[in-house]
Copies of this chain bind each other. A is one copy, B any other.
């Protein structure tokens, strides 16, 4: 069996209060007693129970992370960043893949509460934003990453999606494209909406109009990206776009596959630009030009905000917007004339 505080106390011939004090560095203990207790703890290989300690109102040192799917490289990379910073600060991470289903979100939220996690990091969308209010009422710290719920007072760390869309547009514009299309996510995904908005507004400034049918909403899968891209591209050279802005790397990969299937060369016949700069973007062929999210700093920052909040409650909620960056690889070039 595991040694308990009682075992240590008995073995050291002191009270459990004394043991507790040396663990927490509180109270006054004579040097010799402290040394003796430490020695016994060592000898018994004593590991204090986080469970017991949590029951007395202390923290569980556990955080929950909700993402749509941990097997999706973007969220896996976020998870790693969050895990690392959490670990630095002494916290463990429970992962929760929601598949973007409200029912799963709800289940996980409830589970995490029952397990008394110290805080939650939300990186998943949800239709019903009311789901978070019970948490706030119970003052369980919540922060958001890569997603936002504007009318919720929580710390949020996102990339500047509008600027991201703008960067993509500027890049394509500079290359000389005028005839473009967009593979977007579902319209309820704010980040995607903003990316589209940034992209479109830049086109508009350049005097270019994008017909409505050139903006396709896709599910977050390679397959759907491919399907929609095919619809966009299976036209005569004159009728099809020369460049495709995809709101995430998965969709861009779908676009790449669509091009291949249609025997179109990337980038000569069709330029493709992605978003996120996950590992996927670097292994495709051709490697994907994409808009990078600073995933690691974002994860680190969101954890810092969460820990800050659960230490000293109540402070102005901040919305941290990080700057995206254009990563030029080889999936974009000047349009064929």
Task: List chain A positions with a Cβ less than 8 A from chain B.
Answer: 1-2, 45, 47-52, 54-55, 60-62, 69-73, 76-77, 79-80, 83-84, 92-97, 110-116, 134, 138, 222, 253, 256, 279-280, 282-286
Contact = CB atoms under 8 A, between A and B. Distances in A.
A71 B60 contact: no
A65 B45 CA distance: 23
Nearest to A296: B71
B282 A279 contact: no
Q: State the number of copies, please.
A: 2
A77 B71 CA distance: 5
A93 B114 CA distance: 14
Nearest to A110: B47
B111 A83 contact: no
B47 A114 contact: yes
A39 B62 CA distance: 31
Contacts of A73: 71, 73, 76, 279
B92 A94 contact: yes
Contact of A138 (B2, B51, B61): B2
Contacts of A282: 222
A52 B54 CA distance: 9
27 contacts: A1-B138, A45-B134, A47-B113, A49-B114, A49-B116, A50-B115, A51-B55, A51-B60, A60-B115, A61-B115, A62-B115, A69-B80, A70-B79, A70-B83, A71-B73, A73-B73, A76-B76, A76-B79, A80-B97, A83-B95, A93-B94, A95-B95, A222-B282, A256-B283, A256-B285, A283-B284, A285-B285
A52 B55 contact: yes
Nearest to A253: B283
A55 B54 CA distance: 10
Given A70-B70, A92-B94, 20 more contacts: A47-B110, A49-B114, A51-B60, A51-B115, A52-B55, A71-B76, A72-B76, A73-B73, A79-B95, A80-B97, A92-B96, A92-B111, A92-B112, A94-B94, A222-B282, A222-B283, A256-B283, A280-B283, A285-B285, A285-B286
